[in-house]
Amino acid sequence: MYHNVLISKDHPQHAELEKAIALILAFSNANTIYFSPHLEEDLNAGIIMVIIGADSPHSWDELNENYWKVFETFPQFSFRVFDANWVKDELKDGNPFFAMHCNKNTLVYSTIESIEVNFTEKLKHKRFLKKVKCQNKSKDYAAFILALNVKFYVRGENYLQAAYILHQTIRWMLIEASIFLTGEYIVEHDLVIQQKHIRKYSKHLAQLFDSENEEEIKLMALLNGACYSVQNGHEQPEITMELIEGAVAKKEWMRTEVSRLFAACICRCQYEFSRSKSPLIAIDEGNPLKVITRIITNSVSASAVYCFGQRTINKSAVSTILDDPAVNFESNHYYMFVIAKSFQSDVLGNIAYSVKEQTGGRCTVTVVMHSKKSLHQKAGDQQHFFYQIMQRGTLLFQEISTPPYLPFDEVPTRNIKSAKMYLQQRDRTKTFLMEAEAMDSGGATKIQVYLMHLVIEQTCLGLIRLFLGYLPNHHNLSFLFELCEYFTPLTAELFPRETQKDKELLKILSGYTTSLRYGFIDDVVYHDYMVLSNRYNEFVKRADKLAATELEKLEKLNENTNQNT
């Protein structure tokens, strides 16, 4: 089937593309065909990539060798023919060429049997790019180490070996560039053939040795001659120090240019990956909760979804040097209660991430999730919390066949005595941990930071139980902070998560016990430790006052209620 996104009537190469594709299909059993722009501009219209399947009567090498005349009739395109298994293996090995050029946005033809279209879709983007960068670094380092031998041979006036090393270094870098510019490499030692292979994919590398400059033609011939002399015993060419210096300059320029092209390749991959993500959802400004509900129900087997709160976050900036002096951004944060058939702790973060990504940061969520089974527990604060949401919250989704319900004879009420006891237990735990944290004044350590983490966690749990009557089943600090922000701005004020530095500090504070099993315990930056220590002490101090005030208010309300009954 044809995919007319790229070969539409509006495309400047529409007619020629159709002719080229029809011709390709006439002589090859192509599974998929892609058309993608080059990494750099000012080359030709783009690259046509043909992927053949295992049932093709001709191998991709045969097609490349036998149909070059066909390809030459379309000079406005560069042609690449590959086997599906080659594409799969190269992506597995970290070849960025196929990540750049073979995706759904560049697909122009496919068959029902085509499986290649899913190769790039299945990539773990960050992991793939990390592997690509690691491999490139290792290849660049290998070329650098190889070139170090040139100075050794020059000092000994062994210009033949020096020229041979320079030849091999330049050839190595041409091969390295060929991999991410053309999708494959050739093993030829002749620099003329190597440069010819890559010339349609990089205008600068095509001029590495200028074919119209006699001096550069001579230099390339001497480098090739040095290679044949060392490897095959051919007659040794006459090599001077001047030629060595010229080759060294070529090598240094080549290394810089390949590094530049590789950086552009990484940027292109990141761009293509961003285009392959789920597009931003067109939010109905009147009811963005529909979008959030759809994301939640697609992520987990939900029995019911409620919204029990919303915060609007306004960010604005005023500038005196921009044409548009005012910059405003508004986002909405929603508190969602999900009753699932089974609790899945790992889904909470995925849902929050998906909502933020797919709405472009305009909506964020805190997801409180419980299983249907958890609704069937003894009456108390937890049941009261569930009841308040199910009665006063906004029902967004509910399973029709077996809707969730709270099994009670009477309306659940707050158990202030139990909440007070819970708060006292958290205070006792907190006091012990704070004393332990203060024992060692020898500097910033992971142990002290972890003790801070525990104290803050205990403080948050006490506040949440006191204000909401809720015992969280998920104890990530960010999650606890967001729940606290439902009733107080304290955590947002003392532990902001806006800037990159804020997030770094939160990451340090949120370290797990596993971090104590490895490395040094005193590898916490002292300045960061002091910032966290000051915030931690201020948080505990103000949280205690806040809890005391709320507890006093609840006890008075409870006393009045008892007197009236």
Let me know whether 245 and 336 are in one domain: no
Q: What is the pLDDT of residue 173?
A: 92
pLDDT band at residue 117, thresholds of 50, 70 and 90? low
Q: What is the pLDDT of residue 434?
A: 86
Asked if the structure places residue 522 within a domain, the reply is yes
Q: What is the pLDDT of residue 471?
A: 92
Q: What is the pLDDT of residue 315?
A: 62
Cα 510 to Cα 3, 37, 547, distances in angstroms: 48, 44, 23
Q: How far apart are the first and last CA of the chain?
A: 76
pTM, whole model, 2 decimals? 0.52
Q: Give the pLDDT mean for 95-107.
A: 86
Q: Give the pLDDT mean for 67-82.
A: 80
Q: What is the pLDDT of residue 342?
A: 81
The two three-digit tokens of residue 49, written as one number: 């990539």
Assign residue 308 the CATH number of its domain.
3.30.460
Angle at which helix 125-147 crosses helix 159-182, to 10 degrees, equals 170
Asked if the structure places residue 109 within a domain, the reply is yes
Asked if the structure places residue 467 within a domain, the reply is yes
Assign residue 173 the CATH number of its domain.
1.20.120.330
Asked if the structure places residue 435 within a domain, the reply is yes
More confident site: 359 or 544: 544
Q: What is the pLDDT of residue 541?
A: 94
Of 91, 123, 155, the residue that ends a domain is: 123
The tens digit of pLDDT for each residue in 23-51 reads: 878 777 788 888 888 888 778 888 888 88
Let me know whether 335 and 471 are in one domain: no
| Least confident stretch, 107-116, 120-129, 190-199, 328-337 | 107-116
Let me know whether 169 and 115 are in one domain: no
Q: Give the pLDDT mean for 360-386.
A: 86
Asked if the structure places residue 3 within a domain, the reply is no
Residue 433: CA count within 13 A, CB half-sphere: 22
Q: Give the pLDDT mean for 386-394.
A: 89
Q: What is the pLDDT of residue 276?
A: 65
Asked if the structure places residue 403 within a domain, the reply is no
Q: What is the pLDDT of residue 30?
A: 80
pLDDT at 559 over 60: yes
Q: What is the pLDDT of residue 328?
A: 58
Let me know whether 46 and 102 are in one domain: yes
Q: Give the pLDDT mean for 493-508.
A: 89
More confident site: 530 or 561: 530
pLDDT at 526 over 60: yes
CB 299 within 8 A of CB 365: no
Q: What is the pLDDT of residue 77?
A: 86
Q: What is the pLDDT of residue 27?
A: 75
Q: What is the pLDDT of residue 41?
A: 75
Q: What is the pLDDT of residue 528?
A: 86
Q: Give the pLDDT mean for 236-257.
A: 90
Asked if the structure places residue 195 within a domain, the reply is yes
Q: Give the pLDDT mean for 285-301.
A: 83
pLDDT band at residue 283, thresholds of 50, 70 and 90? very low
More confident site: 293 or 402: 293
Q: Is 84 exposed, middle or buried (0-12, 13-18, 19+ CB in 10 A)?
A: buried
Identify any residues that bridge with 337 across adjacent strands, giving them in sequence order. Answer: 306, 368
Collapse the DSSP code of 238 into the 3-class scheme (helix H, G, I; strand E, B; otherwise coil) and give the result. Answer: coil
One-character DSSP codes across 58-84: S-HHHHHHH-HHHHHT-TTEEEEEEEH
Let me know whether 365 and 426 are in one domain: no
The two three-digit tokens of residue 196, written as one number: 């010819």
Q: What is the pLDDT of residue 171?
A: 92
Phi, psi of 428 (to 5 degrees): -65, -45
pLDDT at 460 over 50: yes
Let me know whether 105 and 153 are in one domain: no
Rounded percentage of the chain residues whose pLDDT exceeds 90: 28
Q: What is the domain range of residue 477?
A: 416-564
pLDDT band at residue 353, thresholds of 50, 70 and 90? confident
Of 368, 398, 428, the residue that ends a domain is: 398
CB 518 within 8 A of CB 491: no
| Least confident stretch, 17-31, 164-178, 482-496 | 17-31
More confident site: 214 or 403: 214
pLDDT at 205 over 60: yes
Q: Give the pLDDT mean for 485-496.
A: 93
CB 351 within 8 A of CB 382: no
Task: Tell me how far apart the alpha carbons of residues 154 and 374 are, in angstroms, rounded to a whole number.
Answer: 78
Let me know whether 84 and 161 are in one domain: no
Let me know whether 144 and 216 are in one domain: yes
- The pLDDT mean for the chain works out to 83
Q: What is the pLDDT of residue 4?
A: 42
Task: Tell me how far apart the alpha carbons of residues 390 and 342 are, in angstroms, rounded to a whole number.
Answer: 19
Of 276, 299, 320, the residue that ends a domain is: 276
Let me know whether 76 and 168 are in one domain: no
Let me know whether 271 and 133 are in one domain: yes
Asked if the structure places residue 443 within a domain, the reply is yes
CB 476 within 8 A of CB 346: no
Let me know whether 527 and 507 are in one domain: yes
Q: Give the pLDDT mean for 514-538.
A: 79
Let me know whether 107 and 132 are in one domain: no
pLDDT at 113 over 70: no
| Least confident stretch, 79-88, 212-221, 508-517 | 508-517
- Residue type for position 489: P
* Number of domains forming the structure of the chain: 4
Q: 388-397 burial by CB neighbour count: b if 16+ within 10 A, else e?
A: bbbeebeebb
- Closest to 455 measured CA to CA, from 440, 479, 436, 471: 436
CB 413 within 8 A of CB 565: no
